[in-house]
Structure 1
Amino acid sequence: MWGRLWPLLLSFLTATAVPGPSLRRPSRELDATPRMTIPYEELSGTQHFKGRAQNYSTLLLEEASARLLVGARGALFSLNAHNIGDGTHKEIHWEASPEMQSKCHQKGKNNQTECFNHVRFLQRLNATHLYACGTHAFQPLCAAIDAEAFTLPTSFEEGKEKCPYDPARGFTGLIIDGGLYTATRYEFRSIPDIRRSRHPHSLRTEEAPMHWLNDAEFVFSVLVRESKASAVGDDDKVYYFFTERAAEEGSGSFAQSRSSHRVARVARVCKGDLGGKKILQKKWTSFLKARLICHIPQYETLRGVCSLEADTSARTHFYAAFTLTTQWKTLEASAICRYDLAEVQAVFAGPYMEYQDGVRRWGRYEGGVPEPRPGSCITDSLRSRGYNSSQDLPSLVLDFVKLHPLMARPVVPTRGRPLLLKRSVRYTHLTGTPVTTPAGPTYDLLFLGTADGWIHKAVVLGSGMHIIEETQVFKEPQSVENLVISPTQHSLYVGAPSGVIQLSLSSCSRYRSCYDCILARDPYCGWDPGTHACVVTTTGANRSQGSRTALIQDIERGNRGCEGNRDTGPPPPLKTRSVLRGDDVLLPCDQPSNLARALWMLNGSMGLSDGQDGYRVGVDGLLVTDTQPEHSGNYGCYAEENGLRTLLASYSLTVRPATPAPAPQAPAMPGAQLAPDMRLLYVLAIATLGGLCLILASSLFYVACLRRGGRGHRQKYSLGRASRAGGSAVQLQTVSGQCPGEEDGDDGEGAGGLEGGCLQIIPGEGAPAPPPPPPPPPPAELTNGLVALPSRLRRMNGNSYVLLRQSNNGVPAGPCSFAEELSRILEKRKHTQLVEHLDESSV
């Protein structure tokens, strides 16, 4: 019973609130809002590269040579890292032959997406060559490429044990001291595997009596130099992050319902592992894996991982992006969690799990653990005891490793909760870099790519994460597939299906005042009191250490340092507005920050709230409806953010009384000043012309009636084009001899005709007129909790907006007729007088 109710209860809690570890957390932390939004049209200083290939998903940055190497579908590129779009790139065409594509298609694969050579691996092999692998239409190949000439070799290597067949399959790989460490599904329809090749001791994971990996999809791998400055002579380790089907769930209805449930994992192997001598020959003897938990274990999927400071193991930590999705797809969100290497090491040093045949489930192992500890690397202590390599380990230890690859404790995030939660966003990739500020502290700066082509820039703080800005880097929505940071070039490189984009790591020039600069909380930006500008804080040739320390920053709080500083930006100009009493007026005010709250003040002291005395406050400005004399005064629009208040706009509003319009005077007749004889002559001429027009009109009407009587049938006259099938012409039809009281014609269509053969408008043969457009939808609640401004405003008289119709519940009423609207306007004009000289800045 509880096995069936538990998923329902958990999904209900997830769908309603996406709860964190503490239900008392502020709501803003449950859905972080980027401070600034930069649409594609406002991007500046970016560089683009797009060749004749597609799917630019593999990136390799070489800082020493300032080259960005790109692997795409059917091609490789070498770009100038200073400016990827300068046209100096080198290109290698590496397509699968038509014969290979045909064979791929015959295997049932898609010849529009899969039967190509997708470059999935690109690493530096040695000082002179690169190493690349491609799917090659489901027949993988690898090649050693001359880095200087950037040309393919004359011969290739078999890639079936180094590269996946499927271009959509999860894959990760590294070249470490000449050895190739890869993780994926290699052979066609094979099981997943972590392998080491191009090495004197090739190794792989175990398959019997149980699979160490269960339908795994790999996301990321990294080498951590744990041997560096190690007091115990430890070995370097390679960590792998992936998802797989859960194996440790118990039996019963819950386990059956979650049979396809996938969990996040972290695994590790020792770089010096040589495999076993008799047991686990050519297999890893140091393979261990553990559960990775972020927020809601049953409903989270690992999407991306990045590591920071892997060269110093004591400070190494990982950031992972997860997608949170409920069982019924009722809610989608993303979470970012941080994991410290020390916590991962502690989990691998803890208790093991064991598969219990009696109950057919995994449970915690409670028995004794043999020595040396299974899964550990060779250290100085083991060498002193005669264990110089993994091939010297006892058979008892290797048997234990074979049956106990899973750890009992999960790896939990730092602080026990996510650093960031974001609704309605799916992160696909992330990368980061530590940034040292002029004051001394170092902050981790992360760049998060989304499934629809946006980049979120966020800084990790003690209380969580602050999203500095969100940037739309692609005009057409597409998934961000790779991100690489170059601190030397101060650039971020974004790989996607359509091309590569180069962005600056900071946009400090966007902030025009000291307040704007510190509110951004960007570790790369600081306010320079000497130049009165927000500048990049990184050390350069033209910036001394002394000038850097003088920069103003407040990354943790984001509101201190500008006290007493006069660099708060120029005051906005005072704009005047003149409006007649009873009219409506809109005072525009745009909020540049998504985190700011609009605050309106009247005469510097009276705060205005939405719905108060005819005031409507929205994100675009203040609407004053049915203005009265007491509405006159000075209005100030402020942005209130993080305890700071900045003036954005200033208005002087004058409401003028509506005076009655003077009675219209009849214009003097021109003939009043003429002599009586001349006036009589004018009257006779006008009467004569009028009589002639009347006689001519009567004659034409008589002739037309005679012609209609002679024909004896109806005639049709079409307005515009002639009526035909599918047209929309309106016809004028004459009805002769079918006046009321007369008999109907032979065709019986004259009933209800008009006397005198008058015209009658009837529908034509064309299609009916299209229905009127539906009324606009009601205004939605905006992101900052303020109701949208009325949507049906019409400009009138050059200085005010008239609110046409709006119901009390905020839903716009339906469209009214022109006659009704005109009557209301004319009725109002009877009692008002327009302002003759309007202010030129009036809206």
Structure 2
Amino acid sequence: MNSVTGLFVLSVLLCSTLSSWSATVNSNGAEFPRLSGFGNLSTFLLHSESGMLYLGARDAVIVVDTAKLSKKMIEWSVPEDRRKSCVAKGKTEDDCRNYVRLLEFLDDGRIYACGTFAFDPQCAFINISTFSLEKQDDGFIKMETGKGKCPFEPSQPYTAVMAGGILYTAVTSNFLGTMYDISRATGIEQERIRTEQSINWLSDPEFISSAFIQEDAKNNPTGEDDKIYFFFTEVAKEYDLYTKVKVPRVARVCKSDVGGMKTLQRRWTTFLKAQLVCEDRASGQRFNILTDVFTVQHQPGDPSSTHFYGIFTSQWEREELSAVCVYSLEEITKVMNGPFKELKKSCENWINPEPIPTPRPGQCLNSDQRELGFESSLKLPDKVLTFMRDHPLMENSVVAVPLMIRYGITYTKLAVTLTPAFSGQKQHITTVLHLGTDHGELHKVAVVGPNATLIEEITLFSAQEPVNNILLYKGEAVVGSPHSLVKLPILGCSLYSSCEVCARAGGLGCIWRHNRPACAMAKPGEVVEAEDLVRQCNKREGLCSPPVIEMRVVEGLRVLLSCVQLSPRPCHWDHPPGSHTRHHNYDLEVQITNKSLGIYVCLCDEAGRDQPPCRKAVYQLTLDNPRVEGNKAIAGSRHFMASHIFLFVIGFMLGGILLFLIYKRQGGMTVGGNSSSTLEKGRDLLHSTDTPQSPSSASLLSEAVPITEKRNGTLNGHGHSMHPGGHNGRHIYTNSSGLKLQESAVNLADELDGRERAGPDGEEEGLEEGLSEMEEAFSKMPCLQGAPLAQCEESSI
């Protein structure tokens, strides 16, 4: 028995050693301060003066000193009786805990915190000076209801913003998650108003973000009211199609709105919404799912210069993709002041739109309205409120062209910095996008005019930890996942350690100094063209004479050959005739067959049309298993990660077998245990992929992602993910550094799920036969034969 126990302990130590080793490699060659061991981080709140960062987590609120990255924690958990009651209502034990989803500063110096509290939202107060939850005289935590302030479900999309000490929220307002409200959640009871319970106002929305825009007293001659903006995706009722069409929206309410006197009592009288359009004009592709929004003032201190940067994806595309569009406050205001959507119809006969009454419905209070005697929304006439109730949607849309489009990548979070740079004697502002992925990576993209350039990729977390928070503070970024926190620098040309990467950051004003050698900021008046940087890098580093990367592959695999391009000039591939290929911007996807073997060369026009093309990458594909040979092929991080996860699984299975033997000898083994509950307890709230992935490169910049091509203002780059399919789900990803192997067969969770779901063929056939018999029986029922069509009714949106 002692020897068996010793072997079990040894296997566990082996597994933990391999796990920590993989985590070390995942740092992508750079050491960043890190905190881990959190439970489902979801909310960031920064105190800008002290630099203290408050985090909402599961059953806890945490404060982190951003300078030292040290932490303190206070517990806020659910009593056992409430948790059992929640489970009895059909919820999982893991969901029946307290997930802190809201943290906001109050005017009295306290923090207002709200959590799901076992599907019974509650709010509490945190004393900042002592960092403790305020308690009642009996010693229990002082709490108040959080309904309408915090979601019931931990993973429910939700947003909230504090405006003048009053909380405005967009959240589900019932236990089942079927009612949606945009409301003023705190303040005077009579002024707590919300949206009308109508699908014309909100139709199955997913709330994303919110922003409070306070008017500048000096530059507000019309006396316009302050406004709160909400961003969400909802099902469009104006499109009558065979399937539900989702559209991104922006909605606006006014801060002084207190509802109507008779019509729209305790409801918004200024609720207006408009569609956001993010469309690539070259291809006509439209991105209709909004996933995140970041608000920034292009001119600090000027609210009218506010811009909203959004991450979009598509409802109709099967492959992963992400696009970034930006909308100005001026454009949104123009649409909100435009015509209203009129969708009243009777069968096929459209009626004339209703005349717009005076004062204009949905308009915020201003000096002109006050002069006419409308000092409050309570004094608005019923005809104005009735029109407002029936016409919340605007006719025109807010249209933008994507700043960038990435295929094979799913971005989850966005932050934006505006970096000054010199172009000769003139100073310009470069927009830098900091994008978090669902695989724990942080991408930096510089946008200069219509050009978007991917500067660097940094892997911060494991592939199962998506980036769910990005905070920019004093030239650094604090990036969070559900379980970890990382701090890293984001400003300065010194971050780029090679001539090639420095050339990519030319839009930020960076120039490679060969005499040092180092990447430095260009001096005022110093002009270096992008093509000159390319020539210098080619001359000094020999980038037009890349080594031949030998790839030994197996027939049936899909291989992605990477080609990294500095300039927006075109690239093309020379490859064997008869090979099955597909272009992904500059990258080339190859289906491995006998005809696909041979030499693949990527040629790019780096220095102009009068110069010979530059050889950016050379690959030789031969049939064999992938292997490492000298400097010609370096195993990619996905291959590395797959092997260690495989060893981890073997060690875990060995430990389980030994533990089984121990229990068997002791007679304590129980047959028929339920493993699904254990898996359910350990699941994360936020979505993550099943297939483990490791960093894509050993440097700050993954060369597997091509640099941008200027096509109508879009960046058509392609990431590391591939289309589902292929043979056995195996894909190889390569770059100029070597070979990347992703082996989805090592995913233990997928294997177990597959075994549980896979049943005998007879059962599946029997199910199909049963469904066919039921369908035939229903078709013969008299009540379903010759059923009359529904009468056309008059509807309004």
TM-score bucket (shorter structure) = 0.5 to 0.7
Which residue in the other structure is 2:274 paired with?
A: 290
CA distance in 1, matches of 2:496, 2:152: 49
- Give the whole-Å Cα distance in 2 for the aligned partners of 1:299 and 1:324: 5
**Aligned counterpart for 1:317 among listed residues 283, 307, 328:** 307
Aligned to 2:565: 595
Tell me the SS of whatever aligns to 1:163.
coil
Distance 1:441 1:212 in 2: 42
Select which of 264, 285, 294 maps to 2:248: 264
1:494 matches 2:479: yes
In structure 2, give the amino acid aligned to 1:308.
V
Contact 1:223 1:238 in 2 (8 A): yes
**What are the within-5 Å matches in structure 2 for residues 513-532 of structure 1?**
516-521=501-506, 523=508, 525-527=510-512
1:177-576 correspondence runs (5 A) = 177-189=164-176, 190-200=178-188, 201-207=190-196, 211-228=200-217, 229-250=219-240, 255=241, 257-258=242-243, 260-295=244-279, 300-309=288-297, 311-326=301-316, 330-356=318-344, 358-359=346-347, 366-413=353-400, 417-438=401-422, 440-486=427-473, 488=474, 490-506=475-491, 508-509=493-494, 511-512=496-497, 516-521=501-506, 523=508, 525-527=510-512, 533-535=518-520, 549-550=523-524, 558-560=530-532
2:273 touches 2:392 (CA, 8 Å); kept in 1? yes
Greater relative contact order: 1 or 2 (C-alpha under 8 angstroms, separation 6 or more)?
Answer: 2
Task: State the SS of the aligned residue for 1:103.
Answer: helix
| Structure 1: gaps of 5 or more residues | 1-37, 538-547, 578-583, 598-607, 613-617, 620-636, 650-774, 790-843
Q: Deviations over 1:73-107 (max 9, x none)?
A: 111111111242xxx32111111122221111111
- Structure 2 CA distance for partners of 1:166 and 1:302, relative to 1, 3 Å: same
Matched ranges for 1:654-693 at <5 A: none
Q: Tell me, yes or no, if the aligned pair for 1:527 and 1:551 is still in contact at 8 Å.
A: no
Instruction: State the AA in 2 paired with 1:282.
Output: R
Cα pair distance change 1:648/1:262, threshold 3 Å: closer
In 1: Cα distance, 2:179 partner to 2:273 partner: 17
Partner of 1:152: 133
- Aligned residue in 1 for 2:162: 175
The runs of 5 or more residues in structure 2 that have no matched partner are: 1-23, 136-141, 552-560, 568-572, 578-585, 588-601, 617-726, 741-797
Aligned to 2:81: 99
Alignment-derived partner of residue 35 in structure 2: 49
Give distance in 1, aligned partners of 2:86 and 2:409: 35
Structure-2 separation of matches of 1:387 and 1:399: 17
Q: 1:134 to 1:645 in 2, by over 3 A?
A: farther
3-state SS in 2 of match to 1:400: helix
Distance 2:487 2:51 in 1: 13
Query: C-alpha offsets along residues 697-731 of structure 1, whole Å, 9 cap, x if unaligned?
Result: xxxxxxxxxxxxxxxxxxxxxxxxxxxxxxxxxxx
Give the structure 1 partner of residue 60 of structure 2: 75
Q: Deviations over 1:579-609 (max 9, x none)?
A: xxxxx9989xxx9983259xxxxxxxxxx97
Cα deviation code 1:146-179 (max 9, x no counterpart): 1121111111121112111011111101111110
- TM-superposed deviation, 1:141: 0.9
CA distance in 1, matches of 2:606, 2:110: 53
- Report the AA paired with residue 229 of structure 2: Y
In the alignment, the residues of structure 2 paired with residue 406 and residue 477 of structure 1 have an alpha-carbon distance, to the nearest angstrom, of 39
Question: For each residue in 1:677-705, what CA deviation from the matched residue of structure 2 results, as whole angstroms up to 9, or x when unmatched?
Answer: xxxxxxxxxxxxxxxxxxxxxxxxxxxxx
Q: Which whole-Å CA distance do the structure 1 matches of 2:574 and 2:184 have between them?
A: 66
Using the alignment, how far apart are the partners of 1:247 and 1:353 within structure 2? 11
Residue range with higher mean Cα deviation, 54-63 or 330-339: 330-339
Distance 1:225 1:432, change over 3 A: same
Looking at structure 1, the residues matched to 334 and 193 of structure 2 have their Cα atoms a distance apart, in angstroms, of 25
**C-alpha separation in 2, matches of 1:198 and 1:143:** 13
- Call closer, same or farther: CA 1:781–1:640 in 2, change over 3 Å: farther
524 and 191 in structure 1: CA distance in 2 versus 1, 3 angstrom threshold? farther
Amino acid at match of 1:202: E
Tell me how far apart the structure 1 counterparts of residues 285 and 454 of structure 2 sit (CA, whole Å).
Answer: 25
The alpha-carbon distance between structure 1 residues 596 and 288, as it changes in their structure 2 partners (threshold 3 A), is closer
Counterpart in the other structure of 1:129: 110
Residues 213 and 228 in structure 2, CA contact (< 8 A), matched pair in contact too? yes
Q: 1:78 to 1:425 in 2, by over 3 A?
A: same
CA distance, structure 1, for counterparts of residue 250 and residue 75 of structure 2 = 36
Instruction: Give 3-state SS (helix, strand or coil) of 2:40's partner.
Output: strand
Shift of 1:779: 11
- Give the aligned length: 555
| Matches of 1:345 and 1:182, distance apart in 2 | 21
Change (3 A) 1:426 1:561: closer
* CA-CA distance at 1:507 after TM superposition: 6.9
Do the aligned partners of 1:203 and 1:284 also contact (CA within 8 Å) in 2?
Answer: no
Q: Residues 278, 638 of structure 1: CA spacing in aligned structure 2 closer, same or farther, 3 A cutoff?
A: closer
Are the structure 2 counterparts of residues 364 and 346 from structure 1 closer, same or farther at C-alpha, using a change threshold of 3 Å?
Answer: farther
Contact 1:435 1:442 (C-alpha < 8 Å) held by counterparts: yes
Query: Percent identity among equivalent residues?
Result: 32
CA distance in 1 between counterparts of 2:410 and 2:364 reads 37
Amino acid of the structure 2 residue aligned with 1:165: F
Determine helix, strand or coil for the equivalent of 1:412.
strand
Q: Distance in 1 between matches of 2:348 and 2:519?
A: 63
Q: CA offset at residue 185 of structure 1?
A: 0.2
Structure 1 residues 360, 90: CA separation in 2 closer, same or farther (over 3 Å shift)? farther
Give the Cα separation in 2 of the matches to 1:586 and 1:186.
59
Flag the 1:560–1:367 CA change in 2: closer, same or farther, 3 A.
farther
Q: CA deviation at 1:787?
A: 13
User: What amino acid does structure 2 have at the position aligned with 1:194?
Assistant: I
2:765 aligned partner: none
Structure 2 length-normalised TM: 0.62
In structure 2, relative to structure 1, the CA distance for the partners of 1:430 and 1:465 (3 Å cut) is same
Question: Given the two structures, how large is their TM-score scaled by the length of structure 1?
Answer: 0.59
Deviation at 1:478, TM superposition (A): 2.3
Q: Following superposition of structure 1 onto structure 2, how do residues 769-788 of structure 1 map, counting pairs within 5 Å?
A: none
Cα distance change of structure 1 residues 330 and 476 upon mapping to structure 2, 3 Å threshold: closer
Please give the alpha-carbon distance, in whole angstroms, between the structure 2 residues aligned to 1:383 and 1:782: 66
**What CA distance in whole angstroms lies between the structure 2 residues aligned with 1:249 and 1:343?**
24
Q: 1:501 to 1:782 in 2, by over 3 A?
A: closer
Contact 1:353/1:364 (8 A) holds in 2: no
